[in-house]
Each structure stands twice: as structure tokens, then as C-alpha cells.
């Protein structure tokens, strides 16, 4: 990779889980990263652990002033990755609208607002990658809010791909990902569901975090990929 120029990737939701795995992989290939979340201490700790190519930032996807401050403070951006999620377990029978509104706000309006505030810093050769999730097509118990928020991400990406061209805009839709907190520490009922899904997946293999990282790299690096929703689920959407 010696002749590959170093890029700057900003990852909102880059302080934990898949966002953090992507940040580490970016640094490993010589790219600079800014990782952001709501918790300053965690963000700072993770950035420091990644070394001099990483810095931390603070923003809350439900607080527009914090988003503006964050994007005003970052270096010019090659790639913006929106990976954040504030989970909400909600079923329609005992629906809690306030909890649903918070998650919908952060994952839909918050993602859109991030792109708005990032626009002046985004390279025309760069891209935006936003995280959706298979629950938009394959709901699970309690996924009411996240199913609708994930579908909203795809609609947002379609709209942005036309509005902010030539910046490319893509979505990644992971299935149930092995190696993440959400899956590895699931309660017994969910763990059983995940195992059933693994058994039904064509290759009897759920995607691993590395598969998601490699999927994101394809979206970042390939200038021919635009306005795409890359599904990385081991084929689970078929079964």
C-alpha cells in the first residue's frame, strides 16, 4: 500500500462495535480516522489506543449544535461513515413512542444532519457510507423501531446520492454479525434466534466483523459503486 495516499475517514459511531473495527482497519492500512460518539472518555481512549493516525471527537446525533461543532472542528473529509445506533427494543403491542422517536431521530434525521454539516468538508472524490440493517426486511421481536429506521437510511441514501453528487453515497446492510456486542452478548432468547438463523443461512455462516469491514472498504474504495445498498448477511435475506 506504499503508493496509496492516506485518506481521512470520519466515523460517527466509531467508538464501539463495527464502527470501531472499521476505524482500526483504516488505521492498519495507513488512513487517518476521526472516531466520534457521545462519550468523550471512550472516544479519547479508543483513539489513543489506535495511535497517531486516530483522533477523537464528540457529537450526539440528536443534538444539532453538537453536530455542527463537531464537523466545524474536523479536518477535510475523504469519507464519512455513519455507523451509530442507540438501540430501542419496541413492539407495537406495548409501544413506547418516546423511545422509538429517539432512535428514529438519531438514525434518520441525525444521519441526514451529519451529511448537511459535513458537506463543506467532504472531498468531491469521497463518499458517504451509512449503516442500515437486515431488520428492515427481516424483522425480529422488538425490532419495530430499528426496522423502520433502517429502511429510512436506504431512502435517505437514494436522496443524497442525487443531491450531493459527485460525492458517492452508499449503504451497507449487515445481517446478524458475529463478533459484535449485540450478538455475542445477546440474551438467551435472542441467542437462540441467531443460532436458528445461522443454521438456515445458505452457508451456515453468519457474517463476521471482518466481512463488514471488507464490505465497507469496497464501498469506500471503488469509484464505480454509488447509490448501492450492499447486503452482507451470508445470504440470510433469502431464507
Ligand X SMILES: NC(=O)c1ccc[n+]([C@@H]2O[C@H](COP(=O)([O-])OP(=O)(O)OC[C@H]3O[C@@H](n4cnc5c(N)ncnc54)[C@H](OP(=O)(O)O)[C@@H]3O)[C@@H](O)[C@H]2O)c1
Residues at the contact surface with ligand X, assessed by CB under 6 A: 12-13, 15-19, 37-39, 42, 59-62, 83-86, 106, 131, 133-134, 174, 176-177, 180-183
Question: C-alpha distances in angstroms, 162 versus 153, 168, 169, 234?
Answer: 15, 9, 9, 30
Least gap, CB of 66 to ligand X (angstroms): 8
What's the min distance (Å) between Cβ of 114 and ligand X?
Answer: 9
Q: What is the layout of strands, in order, in the sheet containing 168-174?
A: 54-58, 32-37, 8-12, 77-82, 122-131, 168-174, 229-232
CB 35 within 8 A of CB 15: yes
Q: Which is nearer to ligand X, 53 or 178 (CB)?
A: 178
- By beta-carbon proximity to ligand X, the closer residue of 50 and 83 is 83
Main-chain dihedrals φ then ψ at residue 170, nearest 5 degrees: -135, 160
Nearer to ligand X, 3 or 80 (CB): 80
Q: Which is nearer to ligand X, 85 or 167 (CB)?
A: 85
Residue 142 region, left (φ>0) first, then alpha (ψ -120 to 50), else beta? left
For the range 120-123, what are the long-range contacts, defined as Cβ-Cβ under 8 Å and sequence gap of 24 or more?
121/71, 121/74, 121/75, 121/76, 121/77, 122/77, 122/80, 122/164, 122/167, 123/76, 123/77, 123/78, 123/167
For the bound state, the minimum distance from the C-beta of residue 1 to ligand X, rounded and expressed in Å, comes to 25
Residue 122: CB minimum distance to ligand X, A: 19
Min dist. Cβ of residue 197 to ligand X (A)? 11
Q: Which is nearer to ligand X, 165 or 191 (CB)?
A: 191
Smallest distance, ligand X to C-beta of residue 164, A: 20
Cβ distance to ligand X smaller for residue 4 or 45: 45
Residue nearest to ligand X (CB): 17
Which residue matches cell numbers 462495535?
A: 17
Amino acid at each position: 500500500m506504499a503508493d496509496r495516499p492516506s485518506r481521512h475517514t470520519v466515523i460517527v459511531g466509531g467508538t464501539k462495535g463495527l464502527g470501531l473495527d472499521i476505524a482500526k482497519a483504516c488505521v492498519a492500512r495507513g488512513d487517518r480516522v476521526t472516531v466520534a460518539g457521545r462519550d468523550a472518555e471512550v472516544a479519547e481512549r479508543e483513539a489513543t489506543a489506535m495511535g497517531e493516525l486516530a483522533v477523537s471527537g464528540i457529537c450526539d446525533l440528536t443534538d444539532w449544535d453538537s453536530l455542527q461543532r463537531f464537523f466545524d472542528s474536523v479536518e477535510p473529509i475523504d469519507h464519512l461513515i455513519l455507523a451509530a445506533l442507540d438501540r430501542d427494543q419496541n413492539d407495537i403491542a406495548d409501544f413506547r413512542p418516546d423511545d422509538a422517536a429517539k432512535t428514529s431521530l438519531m438514525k434518520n434525521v441525525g444521519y441526514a444532519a451529519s451529511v448537511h454539516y459535513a458537506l463543506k468538508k467532504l472531498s468531491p472524490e469521497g463518499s458517504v457510507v451509512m449503516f442500515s440493517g437486515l431488520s428492515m426486511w427481516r424483522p425480529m421481536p422488538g425490532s419495530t423501531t430499528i426496522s423502520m429506521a433502517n429502511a429510512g437510511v436506504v431512502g435517505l441514501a437514494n436522496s443524497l446520492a442525487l443531491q450531493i453528487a459527485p460525492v458517492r453515497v452508499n449503504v451497507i446492510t449487515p445481517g446478524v454479525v458475529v463478533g459484535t456486542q449485540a450478538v455475542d452478548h445477546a440474551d438467551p432468547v435472542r441467542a437462540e434466534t441467531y443460532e436458528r438463523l445461522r443454521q438456515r443461512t445458505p452457508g451456515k455462516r453468519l457474517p463476521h466483523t471482518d466481512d463488514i469491514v471488507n464490505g465497507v472498504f469496497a464501498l469506500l474504495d471503488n469509484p464505480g459503486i454509488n447509490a448501492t445498498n450492499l447486503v452482507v448477511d451470508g445470504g440470510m435475506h433469502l431464507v
